[in-house]
Structure 1
């Protein structure tokens, strides 16, 4: 065993210890639909937020997409729809939902208020790159509408921006200027998206005008985004192949105790000063495990694994490892 694989195996042992101690929460992908119907689609997406559910249960993912059509907009939905679009080979099935989402979000722009840090919601390159994969002509109309709403929104903060430029205190100056700058940053990105899809609405002079108030100019072209989540979540390093006593069809077969399997690694006594979690989302034979702990504010670590049941063999793959240590 090479050094890197040995270190990862140590991490998986620590992570699986948490699974034993934390009463592993188990959800079948079909349960997400029941949760969405009862509590709303965001409640279901909150459970699956770290997992690409569409890789292991595409019909459930499609049903969740449909449920976003009548829901209030949220970043959970935005990330889910865009991630689905850029991760799957054929994004057309989410086109309608993404266009409806963008239309609803455009209508919200006029209601936005600065947060506690004086910032306004931002539009990311990744999100716009996902929308640019849509070939429907309606996309251009919605992007133009998005730009015009942000340009109009910026006027609400123009006077504050001017006052901020005259202040000596850097902090107070920035707080006054930030809402106007955020509006202009969004305008820049949406204009670049319009340029990337070949829209005649794009105007270089508008882009330059918005960039004049930004610390870092937004001039780089926007490209169509492609996701690496296929390799990240359906690849990984195989850490273990556990041979079982008999064939099983499901990870939650009553005779197959996940706890007893996880105890193969070691036993763990929970420490009450930690905030820990362990979650398994599965489709029967394939699942993702997210487990980790926070040790005080901004300090912690965790792992995401994929487990696969192949009759008498349980395979465990390491996908994501993270550690946060901030003094």
Structure 2
């Protein structure tokens, strides 16, 4: 196996992992404020179809990204209203949104199936960075949405661990009653981060339809939203680890498609299963008691908060 092969695999891992990374970052913020959102798959699909339709109408992929953010944010607002204001079961709400998003995206995109995007996101050279041997072709020959994640991930890490808003976010996720007693608006913070999480999931879906495979197909997320939810646990609610995990999942996905070019006689359906098998393996490992105690999710995760009961 040549160096070019490894470069191709690693570069493809970043591309394939980017939609999962956006969705995982959104879910990470949502869970950090104590809310479990299992509707990521539906939000990604709505983001994918909204981004695709508006990008075609405006002939501008950035308009598509804006539409995807609004679509994903609107879905997240529904989830926030149900779970924060009405205190509905978060698992049921998330699953309902996934089913709703799947059906809604299929209905909206029915007339656009197979239509290509005339102006999709394309790789952009970053000058001398793209020419660095080995590193350049892997990290700096991608599109703008990939480059945005290079800035977004450290920004979110800094926000969560080094700023007062991040401290308030973690406090709401760990002990909302204590945070409320100190003057932190629990409902406001949960609404804000749930909606931001939905917007990031929408961008992840739009990346699929505007960059990764610039077309629209029903259910084109193919379970990536569920991988993103599992990845948050794998990343221990840390944006930097979420980035690494996304690229690992993307690399497994890329390796599965490239394995047959090396003459490896493995059935194609098994290769397509690899990312999901790895997801199951990760969940089994983190579910072990010792590992679960060490990771420690936000203590108020999935628990509704009623100010009158504190």
Q: RCO (CA 8 Å, sep 6+): is it higher in 1 or 2?
A: 2
Tell me the TM-score normalized by structure 1: 0.22
Tell me the TM-score normalized by structure 2: 0.22
Q: Compare CA radii of gyration and give the structure with the larger one.
A: 1
Task: Decide which structure has greater helix share.
Answer: 2
